[in-house]
Structure 1
Amino acid sequence: MKCRIAVRKQRGAAIVVNHRGRVYRHRAPRWHRRPARDIVFRRRPHRDEGVSIRVEILIDILGRSGVRRLEAERRRLDLRGALTAQWVSTDRTGERVLRVRAGGHPLAALVDRTGDGYVEDLYVRRDR
Structure 2
Amino acid sequence: MAITTVGAAQTAVNTEPCSPKLACLLIEREEAERLAGMLKAIADPTRLQLLRLIERSPDGEACVCDLTECLGLRQPTISHHLKLMTEAGLLNRERRGTWAWFSVNHDGLRRVRNILDPATV
TM-score range relative to shorter protein:
under 0.3
Q: TM-score scaled to structure 2, two decimals?
A: 0.26
The structure where helix makes up a greater share of residues is: 2
Structure ID, larger Rg:
2
Higher relative contact order (CA 8 A, sep 6+): 1
Q: TM-score scaled to structure 1, two decimals?
A: 0.25
The structure where strand makes up a greater share of residues is: 1
